[in-house]
Chains A and B, each alone.
Chain A
């Protein structure tokens, strides 16, 4: 069974630009969560989508947005990039049914803003 796939793996953008990151969950998983990982702030929760609906949201500015499609694939968008947005962005998928809460992570997208 294929794991969680994040594309692209690496990205370099200029301040002020916008970027879209993609996450394809494990087949059958309906929940997709996004996290930002930086050396200074650690792992910070961005948002979670379940069946195309945003169910949870972290404390990030409105420049960070996401969506989920009917096939459970999710995209995350960051507009008006700032230098501080440089980070590893991790996506995790899970079944989220009953007690089945295990999250499977992708390898991440390394975003560098210059």
Chain B
């Protein structure tokens, strides 16, 4: 079974600054995906960024980037130039890759507040 741990229940950052959210996971699988999802106060969860475990290059999406350390089973999210709209709960998630994949295991989430 997989586990995902987010050790920071709450974080805050000043607008325009950079913040890093931590995530570690445990799995015996070698082929999988990792995701960061954002859930704003309106509740709808949206995908922020995705990383395939077989890719060594860290994924980036505009102001969002990850630091994927496969050996250490670490997958942190860096948000650069933080904006007020980044205020949300962020979830790290794991999904096994393969024909019967489809179950995502989520961490407990980190509530991020961006302060003006």
Chain A nearest CB from B9 CB (Å) reads: 11
Give the chain A neighbours of B91 by CB distance below 8 A: 43
Going nearest first, the 9 A-B pairs with the smallest beta carbon separation are A105-B45, A43-B106, A48-B102, A56-B103, A42-B108, A107-B44, A45-B103, A56-B102, A102-B47
Q: Flag whether B11 is at the interface (Cβ < 8 A).
A: no
Interface residues of chain B, those whose CB is within 8 Å of chain A, are 33, 37, 42-47, 50, 52, 91, 95, 100-109
Closest chain A residue to B96, Cβ basis:
A56
Question: Residue A102 contacts which of B44, B50, B103, B106 (CB distance < 8 angstroms)?
Answer: B50
Give the chain A neighbours of B46 by CB distance below 8 A: 105
Number of residue pairs across A and B with beta carbons under 8 Å? 50
A90-B107 in contact (CB<8A): no
Interface residues of chain A, those whose CB is within 8 Å of chain B, are 31, 33, 35, 42-43, 45, 48, 50, 55-56, 58, 88, 90, 92, 94, 96, 99, 101-108
B101-A33 in contact (CB<8A): no
Chain B nearest CB from A83 CB (Å) reads: 22
Question: Residue A103 contacts which of B43, B44, B104 (CB distance < 8 angstroms)?
Answer: B104
Closest chain B residue to A59, Cβ basis:
B1
